[in-house]
Structure 1
Amino acid sequence: MVCGKCEKKLSKVICPDPYKEGARNTTEGGGRKLNENKLLSKKNRWSPLAAKCTVCKSTLHQQGQFCQSCAYQKGVCAMCGKQILDTKNYKQSSR
């Protein structure tokens, strides 16, 4: 569960999709460069072992502060922590 502002920050796929116009993983419009070495070109690589959820301390599969289950239970964006849903009337387990 990610807010609209953080949806742009989600990771892009390495291989381009030439059949879809306006896809996020295309090379037009400032997208990825052709024939680039991903190991050399990316300075700030995301380390999946270093990222932990702030609530349950589990490892994260994408950049952010919360894992998907904790973000949904709290009703916040998983990346920035901004309130998205009002979960006051939801019946949720603490698991």
Structure 2
Amino acid sequence: MVCEKCEKKLAKVIVPDKWKEGASNTTEGGGRKINENKLLSKKHRWTPYGQTKCTICKQQVHQDAKYCHTCAYSKGVCAMCGKQVLDTKFYKQSNV
């Protein structure tokens, strides 16, 4: 659950590289180096579950967010910025 402002941040493409134009799997255009040692060259590797954690339950979050999905829905706030999105005053929710 995110607000309208943060929806624009989620619209990014996962793989922005075009084929043969700076792609990492080609030798043309500075992509892949020949006879490269992969153990030495992997400095900035992408991890699907990064270092960000939910501020309430300390669970790992898969995007640049402050809250996980369950905590954001139970509080009624945007998961990325923390802005109040939904009024949960009359909702019947459990702590499970």
Q: TM-score range by the shorter chain?
A: 0.5 to 0.7
Structure 2 CA distance for aligned equivalents of residues 13 and 33 of structure 1: 9
Q: Aligned residue pairs: how many? A: 73
Q: Quick one: structure 1 residues 67 and 5, their matched pair in 2 at CA, closer, same or farther if it must change by over 3 Å?
A: same
**Aligned CA-pair RMSD:** 2.2
Structure 1 counterpart of 2:51: 50
Q: Deviations over 1:34-84 (max 9, x none)?
A: 32347xxxx9x7873310000000000111100000000000000000000
Q: Structure 2: any 5+ residue segments left out of the alignment?
A: 25-43
- On the 8 A contact 1:46/1:63 being kept in 2, the answer is no
TM-score w.r.t. the length of structure 1 is: 0.66
Structure 2 counterpart of 1:72: 73
- On the 8 A contact 1:53/1:60 being kept in 2, the answer is yes
* Aligned-pair identity (%): 52
Decide which moves more: 75-84 or 3-12. 3-12
Q: Structure 1: any 5+ residue segments left out of the alignment?
A: 15-31
TM-score w.r.t. the length of structure 2 is: 0.65
Query: 1:70 is paired with a residue of what secondary structure?
Result: helix
> Which has more helix, going by share of residues?
2
- Structure with max Cα Rg: 2
- On the 8 A contact 2:48/2:62 being kept in 1, the answer is no
Structure 2 CA distance for aligned equivalents of residues 54 and 88 of structure 1: 21
